[in-house]
């Protein structure tokens, strides 16, 4: 990030006055297609897509050099099953059954990739059907199963997506990540959803094609049924039944995108989407959060807590540690609670403080191994300070026992504020 981009982004957030990135309201008439890597800078991405929170598609020229595009694909553009078997046949992968709805997703089982590929080959031979149903390999954490050297061969993180705090945090803890491979025959699909924690995502087709149906934030509300639930499949004819979906006449058609082989889709924060594989397809998908959508994540966590509190409100007066239980339930349902969110902010903030504290020479040494420039660190510190201030002011965070936290949240906030002031001159 350069100085000018930082100034532009900081002004954008000042103008928002604490509101989250939108992209809602009037739907754009189409999704931009970016052709030329040489003429599209990080600043162009920030101004055109990250800040306005709008989707876009990058041409296959952006992923030209990726090893997976050479090795995982046959000359005919099909998945190279033999290569994948040799390389990853024994790895156990998660597989969802697209034909079975369990709440708003599909039941998952685990099997060695070898077995999934046997299934896939047989599915093709039988003319794209199987008594086992339509199985989709989803959320395979390849980065956990392959060596770093191997991964260098697979893909290169595009600069546009390089500020990725979710994976930075989980890598620091060494427990999880949000980097996935999806693979499945024509007809596999992902039900209607918005991404975890209102993260951004990016998705590259290594081979095959996907159809994306996008709804800007808020537009999903017109698709709710009479109980307020979101549909599982927005293409279902059930949605035309006005007694089931009373607001449907107010809905807008989705923005439709066909993603070709090698192309990269940017999914903005809080946009609901549904995705269909139009051919046998393998993709790499990452979820990511950074200074641009951090406030969206925090906003989402507050909504999640309110939903839990509403759900269990009848025990509020009779249960002494009701608030604590709400946090426990929230963690079970959403994967994170307020305490863990603070921990996330802390881990990310401390690295920025280290870089900023060291000054320009420190960045050259970069012993934190972040490749984090001063302008990026300064921007991040500003975003962290804004959201941390809001966390500290939240009554439910004030109920969390922070006495053992190091540093204490107020201390961390002060450090961030000091760093932001010191970084103004950078």
Ligand X SMILES: O=C(O)CCC(=O)C(=O)O
* Contacts with ligand X, residue ranges (CB under 6 A): 182, 190, 195, 201, 203, 210, 267, 273, 275, 283, 285
Q: Least distance in Å: CB of 269 to Fe ion? A: 11
**H/E segment holding residue 58:** strand 56-58
Q: Which is nearer to ligand X, 163 or 285 (CB)?
A: 285
Q: Are 316 and 229 in contact (CB under 8 A)?
A: no
| d(C-alpha 182, C-alpha 172), whole Å | 25
What are the start-end ranges of the H helices in 89-141? 113-125
Report, in Å, the least distance between residue 350 CB and ligand X. 29
What is the residue whose two structure tokens read 């660190």?
377
Closest separation in Å from C-beta 182 to ligand X: 5
CA pair distance 203, 187, nearest whole angstrom: 18
Handedness of CA 101, 102, 106, 111 (dihedral sign): negative
CB-nearest residue to ligand X = 190
For residues 300 to 339, the per-residue mask of contacts with Fe ion, x marking binding by CB under 5 A and - elsewhere, is ----------------------------------------
| 371 neighbors 352 (Cβ within 8 angstroms) | no
Which class for 19: exposed (0-12), middle (13-18), buried (19 or more C-beta within 10 A)? exposed
Q: Which is nearer to ligand X, 142 or 275 (CB)?
A: 275
Closest distance to Fe ion from the beta carbon of 11 (Å)? 30
Query: Using CB distances below 5 to 8 A depending on partner kind, what does residue 209 bind out of ligand X, Fe ion, none?
Result: none
What's the longest Cα–Cα distance across the chain?
66
Please report how close the Cβ of residue 188 comes to ligand X at its closest, in angstroms: 7
Q: Which is nearer to ligand X, 142 or 419 (CB)?
A: 142
Q: Is 157 helix (H, G, I), strand (E, B) or coil?
A: coil
Residue placing its CB nearer to ligand X in the complex, 13 or 288: 288
Determine which residue in the list 164, 195, 386, 396 makes contact with Fe ion, applying CB under 5 A.
Answer: 195
| Binding range to Fe ion, per CB under 5 A, among 14-22, 86-94, 188-196, 293-301 | 188-196
* Least spacing, CB of residue 100 vs ligand X, in Å: 16
Nearer to ligand X, 24 or 362 (CB): 24
Half-sphere exposure of 81 toward its Cβ, with a 13 Å CA cutoff? 14
Quick one: 190 or 296, whose CB is closer to ligand X? 190
CA-to-CA dists, residue 401 to 323, 333, 335, 386, 398, angstroms = 12, 21, 20, 22, 8
Residues contacting Fe ion: total by CB under 5 A: 1
| Contacting residues toward Fe ion, per CB under 5 A | 195
């Amino acid at each position: 990030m350069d100085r000018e981009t930082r100034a532009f982004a900081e002004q954008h957030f000042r103008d928002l006055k604490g509101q989250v990135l939108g992209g809602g309201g009037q739907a754009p008439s189409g999704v931009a297609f970016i052709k030329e890597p040489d003429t599209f800078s990080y600043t162009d991405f920030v101004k055109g897509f990250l800040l306005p929170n709008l989707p876009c598609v990058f041409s296959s020229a952006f992923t030209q050099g990726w090893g997976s595009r050479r090795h995982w694909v046959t000359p005919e553009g099909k998945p190279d099953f033999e290569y994948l078997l040799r390389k990853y046949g024994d790895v156990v992968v998660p597989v969802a059954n697209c034909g079975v709805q369990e709440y708003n997703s599909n039941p998952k089982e685990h099997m060695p990739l070898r077995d999934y590929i046997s299934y896939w080959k047989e599915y093709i031979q039988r003319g794209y059907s199987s008594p086992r149903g339509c199985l989709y390999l989803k959320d395979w954490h390849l980065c956990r199963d392959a060596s770093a050297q191997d991964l260098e061969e697979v893909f290169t993180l595009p600069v546009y997506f390089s500020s990725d705090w979710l994976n930075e945090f989980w890598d620091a803890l060494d427990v999880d990540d949000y980097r996935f491979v999806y693979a499945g025959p024509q007809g596999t699909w992902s039900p209607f959803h918005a991404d975890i924690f209102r993260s951004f995502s990016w998705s590259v087709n290594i081979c095959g094609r996907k159809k994306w149906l996008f709804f800007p934030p808020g537009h999903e509300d017109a698709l709710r049924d009479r109980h307020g639930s979101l549909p599982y499949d927005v293409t279902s004819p059930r949605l035309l039944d006005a007694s089931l979906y009373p607001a449907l006449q107010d809905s807008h058609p989705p923005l439709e995108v066909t993603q070709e082989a090698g192309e990269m889709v940017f999914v903005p924060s809080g946009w609901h989407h549904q995705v269909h594989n139009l051919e046998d397809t393998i993709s790499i998908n990452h979820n990511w959060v950074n200074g641009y959508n951090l406030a969206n994540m925090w906003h989402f966590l507050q909504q999640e807590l309110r939903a839990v509190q509403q759900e269990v409100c009848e025990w509020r007066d009779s249960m002494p540690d009701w608030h604590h239980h709400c946090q426990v339930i929230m963690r079970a349902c959403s994967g994170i609670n307020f305490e863990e969110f603070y921990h996330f902010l802390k881990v990310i903030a401390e690295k920025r403080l280290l870089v900023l504290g060291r000054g320009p020479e420190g960045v050259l040494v970069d012993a934190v191994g972040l490749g984090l420039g001063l302008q990026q660190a300064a921007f991040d510190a500003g975003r962290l300070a804004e959201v941390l201030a809001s966390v500290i002011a939240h009554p439910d965070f004030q109920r969390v026992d922070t006495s053992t936290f190091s540093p204490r949240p107020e201390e961390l906030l002060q450090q961030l504020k000091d760093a932001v002031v010191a970084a103004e001159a950078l």
